[in-house]
Amino acid sequence: MKHIILGLKDNRQVFVFVALGAVLIALAEHIVGILPGLVGIVLIAYAVLNVMVAFGFRDSGIQPGHSLVQLVLGVVILIQHENAIAIIGVVWAMLTLFNAADEINEMYEQGRVQWLALMWILVSAALAYLLLHDPFEHIMAHIRILGLEMIANAFIRWYRGKQDTDHAIMRLVRSVSNKTR
């Protein structure tokens, strides 16, 4: 899925992410109801696909053992449909905390604090705490926040891509004008 979206032209990526973000915000209540089935099926399909690719293409870099985790988690989420929101919330919170830990480690290795990143880490940790504390209460808000994040990231990527394009054009113009002198 990631490769398909990244393969789209920048304007289409913006549209896809804004549309998905808007759906997450507008339909969060409905999404919570279908989330266990959706996540369970996606995890199982992803695990099976990874195993097939890993054994079909040994140089793919996919580690089929990790697919066991995805497969078991997907099956548990489908079976424990009523309690699956708790499982999804805890996994989501843990992934968020691991990402925050990676950011902290990166700042540590660089030997400097990036204040904006640090603020984002603190917000992420607080949101992860809420999911761990009471996933049933906070999952809908997290779905809406994910929608907002998708919309914001789409425009940030579009703006950065536009800046990169503008800079590339300016470098090209300067290069051509220098050669014609």
122-154 confidence digits (pLDDT tens): 999 999 999 999 999 999 999 999 999 989 888
Kindly tell me if the per-residue pLDDT of 43 is higher than 90. Answer: yes
Distance CA 66, CA 83 (A): 23
- pTM, two decimal places: 0.74
The domain spans of the chain are 2-159
3-state secondary structure 76-143: HHHHCCCCHHHHHHHHHHHHHHHHHHHHHHHHHHHCCCCHHHHHHHHHHHHHHHHHHHCHHHHHHHHH
Please enumerate in sequence order all residues whose Cβ is within 8 A of that of 141, keeping only pairs 6 or more positions apart, or say none: 130
Kindly tell me if the per-residue pLDDT of 171 is higher than 90. Answer: no
Q: What is the pLDDT of residues 57-68, one digit of tens each?
A: 888 888 888 899
Distance CA 39, CA 79 (A): 12
